[in-house]
A and B are shown apart, each in its own frame.
Chain A
Amino acid sequence: MSAHHSDPLQNPEVQQGSTLRFATAFLASVLFMGAALLVSQHKLPFLEFAEILVGLTFLTLAAQATLFFGLDISRAQIWKSVSLILTVPLFIISVGLTVWAFSSLYSRTMLPANEVPSMSMPMDSNATMSMPAQQTLLQ
């Protein structure tokens, strides 16, 4: 609101930037994503693969939050950090509960996913339904 005459370049957020920090963030992100790419080229059990990916993503995001965005508990940045921490649960809740709700819905109301006949096939495709699907229906 008020007219202020201090030098904008002395603002802590300007002064916070440093080549070393940004370069580290860049290299860390590239490294973790490269590792994720390498892992994906191997045939791992899905759960294990997913765990590794989640871990690498978490590391990348943490590196970006602290080094790129420069989030910390200093006076200049504290409220950004706090608001992010308050918001992260919402990301997890909204995606997580949605995924849970719909996977439960699908498993209760739909045929097992890999046995669904293609929607683009003619309607009599039930006749050509694979054996496991028929077994599921009979159960």
Chain B
Amino acid sequence: MATIAKAGPNTRLWNAEADEHDTISTRTFGFWLYMLSDALIFTGIFASYAVLSTPMNLAGGPGPAQVTNAVEGFWQTLIILGSVFAYSQATVALKNGSKAGVAAGILVAMVLGVAFVSMGWHDLAALTAQGNGYSRSAYLSIFFTLIATHGLHMGIGILWMLIMLVQIVRFGFTADVVARLLNLRMFWQFQATIWVIVYVYVYLLGGTA
């Protein structure tokens, strides 16, 4: 609050050293804020899923129990967690400035990420082939949207990793590159967090109840 202090001989009016800001932490904080808004996108989709997954929304089509498989979903969970762990390990290698370590971690994370996305893609393609595509019912529309939105995020993350591989080789660990690697770590971990909620909510709670 307004402390009415008197100015004394030691009162400082200007601070020329103040311009030193930690650019990396400013960037990671901004990206974290973006992720919170991204989480609200998923919140909107989850709320829609809750409204559109009652028996009334099936229009005679398959419901949560028919389109999801809890065991298969668990394999996907394992793969995405493995991918996140691999990328996180890449940033442990970053501590020592090891380009090879970072690149290896990113490569493993990419391979697992591609495996995850193709499993999801395969599921949706199989449903469509059965005549249960996204335009079959409101429930299938929101189910496809949820899986595809998560998949799109994964795809963007994989593209980002590819770019980071190039930048590590080309620029080395500059402040910009390090900030991007840290942001990507949050982004990738965030995908696993979202997937855990998808798995519990759609595959387990909806799929078996």
Contact = CB atoms under 8 A, between A and B. Distances in A.
Query: Do chains A and B interact in one complex?
Result: yes
Interface of A: 1-2, 4, 8-9, 11-15, 17-19, 22-23, 25-26, 29-30, 33-34, 36-37, 40-41, 46, 49-50, 53, 56-57, 60-61, 64, 68-69, 76, 79-80, 83-84, 87, 90-91, 94-95, 98-99, 102, 106, 110, 113-114, 116, 118-121
Contacts of A13: 24-25, 28, 182
A26 B85 contact: yes
Nearest to A22: B88
Nearest to A29: B81
28 contacts: A4-B21, A4-B23, A8-B177, A9-B178, A11-B22, A12-B25, A14-B95, A17-B88, A17-B92, A17-B94, A22-B85, A25-B88, A26-B81, A29-B196, A30-B81, A33-B199, A33-B200, A37-B70, A40-B70, A40-B204, A40-B207, A40-B208, A41-B70, A56-B200, A64-B189, A87-B40, A98-B47, A116-B56
A14 B82 CA distance: 20
B200 A19 contact: no
Interface residues of B, number: 63
B160 interface: no
A115 B59 CA distance: 13
Given A76-B25, A87-B39, A106-B54, 4 more contacts: A36-B200, A49-B209, A113-B54, A114-B55
Most chain B beta-carbon neighbours within 10 Å: one of A23, A40, A79, A110: A40
Nearest to A115: B55
Nearest to B36: A87
A10 B129 CA distance: 52
Interface string B70-109: 1100100110011011001101101101000000000000
Contact of B60 (A19, A91, A120): A120
A49 B200 CA distance: 11
Nearest to B29: A79
A114 B22 CA distance: 58
B131 to A, nearest CB: 12
A46 B200 CA distance: 14
A68 B189 contact: yes
Q: Which 5 A-B pairs have the closest CB atoms?
A: A120-B60, A118-B60, A22-B88, A8-B178, A2-B19
Given A9-B173, A53-B205, A120-B59, A99 B85 contact: no
